Amino acid sequence: MTTDLSIVHLVMQAGPIVKLVMLMLAIASVISWTFIFAKYKEFKTAINVTNTFEKRFWSGIDLNELYRQVASDHYDKSGVEEVFYVGFQEYKRLNTQTGMEPMHVVEGARRAMQAQFNREMDELDNHLPFLATVGSTSPYVGLFGTVWGIMSSFQALANMKQATLALVAPGISEALVATAMGLLAAIPAVVAYNRFSTNADRLATRYETFMDDFTTVLQRQAHVKLKK
């Protein structure tokens, strides 16, 4: 007599608790891959935008012209462009107010950039905690399903006069599928989380460096205005 040990057969023959565990892991895996593809595209876009904008910023272009380009309705700004846009917009707004000290104008622009920086980082970090949760908990959820399945298999053998490996193997195999699914859900989530977290940290450093450099440029303009 031969026993069907295909994955589909093992899943279908598993007990209700083990099936529930497998279903949870399958759903978690599908959601994880959805977030992985979405975040990959998001980080790729953010890195490309940062590289392109930094080259334009340091090309010697007039800041007012750069601001007009970024503020254009046909321009889809994001990331460091948003930081620049918000900061320079606040700088221009405060400059039009009478009685404002030039350094206070710069400080206001810096605060506006910091607030936008926090929003950009929140957006980049979105969904990363879910990947971290899936990566850290999926193996244990799968292990729970395996333990439960093995317990059920041995309990089913209690009423049999003679227990053989052929009788135990299918039940144990069904249970071990849960552990395998837990690992399949966890490994991509952990790899993606580590990669995206590293990218987020690097972008945060580049954004902060840009804010420091841009603040220095605004301070120079403020000193020039003060001398006049």
Instruction: Lowest mean pLDDT of 13-27, 75-89, 112-126, name the range.
Output: 13-27
Rounded Cα–Cα distance for residues 146 and 94 (Å): 64
The length of the chain in residues reads 228
Domain, as residue range, for 110: 7-227
Burial-class residue 122 by CB neighbours within 10 Å (0-12, 13-18, 19+). Answer: exposed
Predicted local distance difference test score (pLDDT) of residue 22: 85
> How many domains does the chain divide into?
1
- pTM across the whole model: 0.82
Rounded Cα–Cα distance for residues 223 and 174 (Å): 74
pLDDT at residue 105 tops 50: yes
Task: Give the mean model confidence (pLDDT) for residues 103-109.
Answer: 90
Q: Is residue 93 part of a domain?
A: yes
Q: Is residue 195 part of a domain?
A: yes
Q: Kindly state the DSSP code that residue 98 receives in the 8-state scheme.
A: T
Q: Is residue 162 part of a domain?
A: yes
Q: Is residue 92 part of a domain?
A: yes
Q: Is residue 216 part of a domain?
A: yes
Burial-class residue 4 by CB neighbours within 10 Å (0-12, 13-18, 19+). Answer: exposed
Rounded Cα–Cα distance for residues 214 and 110 (Å): 9
Q: Is residue 1 part of a domain?
A: no
Q: Is residue 2 part of a domain?
A: no
Predicted local distance difference test score (pLDDT) of residue 3: 47
Q: How far apart are the first and last CA of the chain?
A: 98
Rounded Cα–Cα distance for residues 137 and 97 (Å): 55
Greater pLDDT, 107 or 22: 107
Q: Is residue 173 part of a domain?
A: yes
pLDDT tier at 96, thresholds 50, 70, 90: confident
Task: Give the mean model confidence (pLDDT) for residues 132-138.
Answer: 95
